[in-house]
Amino acid sequence: MTDRFIDLLRHGAVTGDAVFRGRSDDPLSAVGLAQMSLKIKYLSKKTTPAWDHIFCSPAQRCAAFAHQLAIEKQLPIKVLPNSAERDFGAWEGQSANQLAPSDLAHFWLDPLNYTPPNAELLSAFQARIITVWHTLCVNTDWHHALFITHGGVIRIILGEIFRLQPAALLLFEVPPACVTRLRIPTENGSPSLIFHGCFSTVETMLI
């Protein structure tokens, strides 16, 4: 049996400023929609076999685009309620410049033990996303899936695959419309990373 693949696509840029945006349900901006449309156009030409299923976060910055894409490509879609981004509590809607530098330093250096006020614990966020990930891996209804999701979710999944410590998760750059392709062995073996990141200017010129 052949291996399976899953593409993790972070949503594009959203309306509003650059802030901590976990459960805040802002829609894609015009730029974000263009970013994702361009990425899908490129991936569609480079994806073999073609996607046969779409999964997405319940946040509208993921779900609205995912549902439209599912209609266009006539693919089954499933919203995964537990795949929402981390809730940043009192930091929701705040930019880094609005927060105390000492609080930010603690957050970046020791994310497991430093939690923003009223935010979801990192350990709880990890457990929630890892459960979603393992459920996807054992689901045999798909062979090559597209999962439209969040930067934090992608970091947690990569951390699980590479068995990383919590502080290392923030070392992954996951910009808007970033794509990560993973291989999932059908029989023995562990999931592996095929590629991660944005496309170069040369690649996008070839679309």
pLDDT above 80 for 9:
yes
- Dist. CA 138–CA 140, nearest whole Å: 6
pTM (predicted TM-score): 0.93
What is the chain's mean pLDDT, rounded? 92
Report the pLDDT averaged over residues 72-99: 96
Give 135's contacts (C-beta < 8 A, 6+ positions apart).
none
H or E element that contains 181 = strand 179-184
Between helix 122-138 and helix 151-162 the angle, nearest 10°, is 70
Give the whole-angstrom CA distance, residue 198 versus residue 21: 21
Condensed to tens digits (0 to 9), the pLDDT of residues 22-69 reads: 999 999 999 999 999 999 998 888 777 799 999 999 999 999 999 999
Q: What pLDDT digit, counting tens, does each position of 122-171 carry?
A: 999 999 999 999 999 999 899 999 999 999 999 999 999 999 998 899 89
Contact of 129 with 83, CB cutoff 8 Å:
yes
pLDDT for position 199:
59
| CA 21 – CA 87 distance, rounded (Å) | 8
- Give 202's pLDDT tier (boundaries 50, 70, 90): very low
Per the structure block, which two tokens stand in for 60? 């509208």
Domain ranges of the chain: 4-205
| CATH number for domain 4-205, candidates 3.30.70.870, 3.40.50.1240, 3.90.1150.10, 2.40.30.10 | 3.40.50.1240
User: Above 50 in pLDDT, residue 74?
Assistant: yes
Q: Residue 104 half-sphere exposure, CB side, CA atoms within 13 Å?
A: 10
Q: Cα–Cα distance between 115 and 174 in angstroms, integer? A: 21
